[in-house]
Amino acid sequence: MNDLPQQLASGLILGAMYGLIAIGYTMVYGIVQLINFAHGEIVMFGAFGGLTAWLLLPQGTALTLALPLMLVMAVGVSVLVGIGAERFAYRPLRNAPRLAPLITAIGLSIMLQQLIWSFYPDAKKARSFPQFSGESVQLLGANVQRGELFLLIAAPICMIALGFFVAKTRTGRAMQATSQDPDTAKLMGINTDRIIVTAFAIGAAFGGVAAIAYGLKYGQIDFKIGFILGLKAFTAAVLGGIGNIYGAMVGGVVLGLAESLATAYIEHIPGMELFGGGAWKNVWAFVLLILVLLVRPQGLLGERVADRA
């Protein structure tokens, strides 16, 4: 167990990434009660946006210098795709039965994957993502890769900014009102269409940040990464209590820690030798989800659905 600090750090890093992506599910769900299953692909597009920025820069540019531009591109591409999805895929179905937007989301996911597969140069296989060179950093007894540091800095900044935005700004207040009672929000003079677009945009922007984090962490991206990332982040959002922005981050971190600890230690439990290692980590993630939902169907920080008007 002397690698515990390392496992905790890995779990936290993974969890912060899940949490950032989970924000996208939870923001949109909180406002329109829609699960945007194409969100994983919005993140994937962001990753390719970031890569494009890197490829457009002159060869030999330092990654530290390139990073801001890559970030802007990733966020920009994700936001464009997110807003486009809302405008053209979901808005026409606003009053349709719930199954319709769900099926649309799945179709949109496949379409977005195929767009990259078909048109992005050499994207039929994984493309490598720029990496920070240099030694890993010692943090509280754990080795943290330089690329992972980005996440440890970006995730808290994003969360604090979002918390401030929702609680303190006029648009944030309008967002809370729309989430609690959309019709009455309209009666206050709130343009709820604009609020919905804003929710999609913020979620997508966080996805763009997570996309860069993913690339830096794993060193390569492909057109399929959105699927499992989206599924995990959706799990994190449900785990934390869908609709609750802090729940998304808590759910992400809990999920990340569970994966990392299960991968490292389950095989040491007598009788569980077969179920350890990375191959089982997704299984443990979903087992955790099921267990939490059995005890707390509303998720860890759960939205109080009962007082929804």
Nearest CB to other proteins, comparing residues 118 and 191: 191
Contact segment (CB under 8 A) with other proteins among 78-86, 146-154, 166-174, 294-302 equals 166-174
Contact segment (CB under 8 A) with other proteins among 154-162, 182-190, 198-206, 287-295 equals 182-190
Neighbours of 308 (CB within 10 A): 11
Among 62, 96, 188, 274, binds other proteins (CB under 8 A): 188
Nearest CB to other proteins, comparing residues 240 and 243: 243
Among 78, 113, 192, 263, binds other proteins (CB under 8 A): 192
Neighbours of 69 (CB within 10 A): 15
87 binds other proteins (CB under 8 A): no
177 binds other proteins (CB under 8 A): yes
174 binds other proteins (CB under 8 A): yes
Q: Which of 222, 202, 229, 209 is nearest to 67 (CA)?
A: 209
Rounded to the nearest whole angstrom, what is the least distance from the CB of residue 189 to other proteins in the complex?
A: 4
Among 186, 246, 275, 298, binds other proteins (CB under 8 A): 186
184 binds other proteins (CB under 8 A): yes
Both tokens of 129, joined, read: 């993502």
307 binds other proteins (CB under 8 A): yes
Rounded to the nearest whole angstrom, what is the least distance from the CB of residue 64 to other proteins in the complex?
A: 42
Rounded to the nearest whole angstrom, what is the least distance from the CB of residue 187 to other proteins in the complex?
A: 5
Residue appearing with tokens 């210098």: 65
224 binds other proteins (CB under 8 A): no
Among 170, 271, 294, 295, binds other proteins (CB under 8 A): 170
Binding site for other proteins (CB under 8 A): 170, 173-174, 176-177, 180-181, 183-192, 304, 307, 309
